Chains A and B, each alone.
Chain A
């Protein structure tokens, strides 16, 4: 992940629900009323990069400014849906960078079970992606619904698999170039 990686920048911009533990003077602009103070106990969705910085006091042992919560894309409800059937969940609607987001969130929270659920989801969906990628019609076949629900990581996976299958077909003379 490099500094100029557009996907990691976009991941940073995704919102995370935060609860303020202290009253902060003059930060009401986050809540939409500039010039006011922000009260303790206020819940605001902050971007990942900001929430991460504000919550860092907790690690240093000083009183923390905000406490983080799990984003709605990784809520209990979504985890249950993924446990039931990973293939039918529209990850893109939950978060365009679902896996990169969960990767970052898992660094902040200790969620052993979530790791297992997500790995399993990724594996199951990857197998499905491979099936669709080998379809010579590309993303126009039957699986349009499923392919529309892929998050950014999975889209890249699909592109790579589709391109390599196509290259091989061109080499074997089964498909025309371009």
Chain B
């Protein structure tokens, strides 16, 4: 092979990306504000809470200058609730537990509501719609929305593992949390494995497979295998796909394709 590294990004790279997530800390020392590339960090004034990128929070934690407040989902209760959804709920037997809603997206309870996209504004006044990783999914919340089930954010495995490594004394019952994270990971990995059955939808033209709720590390782990399977199925089905396209072109030429006629066909 010409290039020794496999396609896609490696687990250390994924966890590097996860360090961009914002977390909440309680500082123990005063610290002046920092001007970072990702945006300014407010001055730290104990005991006022502050939100920092994870890498900075871990650094301060290692230097014993701050305590990290664990995100609401990284709690034995929330994790066992999510685990229950993943394993017991009929609806999620073959799917992953839903990701946290985006800002403006209705929660799970009232999913019939229409999503209202809420634009945010940059300092220059330009409009944008926030999406992960720029949505705070790992910050401690003061008020938990009533009835809203906990959900795993995109970088759940990385953030969870890193916090367990560096700040296990700040978590509620770290051993239980570690065990639940491991169980969740096993349940979801086996779902990815059984998901091979639906992959032929991705191999045919115009098809696709939803990966809603799959975390970054899981995508990274499954990338090589899933891409290989889809590619193999595509190659085997190539002749059939070719025949289908020819059939479609023939139908189009015969005028049987009236629903989506091009503008060129309309002119005489």
Contact = CB atoms under 8 A, between A and B. Distances in A.
Given A157-B225, A164-B223, A171 B12 contact: yes
Contacts of A110: 239, 243
Interface residues of A, number: 32
Nearest to A106: B239
A99 B235 contact: yes
Contacts of B10: 167, 171
Contacts of A134: 189, 193
Interface residues of B, number: 33
A171 B11 contact: yes
A29 B231 CA distance: 40
Interface stretch (B55-63, B101-109, B120-128, B214-222): B214-222
B145 interface: no
A130 B11 contact: no
Contact of A163 (B193, B224, B237, B240): B224
A133 interface: yes
Contacts of A164: 6, 220-225
Interface string B25-63: 000000000000000000000000000000000000000
Contacts of B199: 123, 126
Interface in A102-123: 102-103, 106-107, 110, 112, 115, 118-119, 122-123
Interface string B182-199: 000000010011101101
Given A119-B236, A171-B11, A126 B222 contact: no
B248 interface: no
A168 interface: yes
Contacts of B197: 123, 127
Contacts, number: 91
B80 interface: no
B232 A122 contact: yes
A161 B199 CA distance: 16
B74 to A, nearest CB: 16
A122 B222 CA distance: 17
B229 A170 contact: no
Indicate the member of B6, B228, B233 with the most A CB atoms within 10 Å.
B228
B238 interface: yes
A156 interface: yes
B240 A126 contact: no
Q: Is the interface of A mostly helix, strand, loop or mixed?
A: helix
A67 to B, nearest CB: 19
B12 A160 contact: no
B87 interface: no
A142 interface: no
A130 B10 CA distance: 19
A119 B237 contact: yes
Contacts of B77: none
Contact of B200 (A102, A119, A131, A156): A119
B221 A168 contact: yes
Contacts of A56: none
Contacts of B78: none
B224 A160 contact: yes
A168 B232 contact: no
B15 A122 contact: no
A115 B239 contact: yes
Given A123-B199, A171-B11, A163 B6 contact: yes
B15 A130 contact: no
Interface of B: 6, 10-12, 15, 161, 189, 192-194, 196-197, 199-200, 203, 217, 220-225, 228-229, 232-233, 235-240, 243
A-B complex: 3 closest residue pairs judged by Cβ atoms: A171-B11, A160-B224, A161-B225
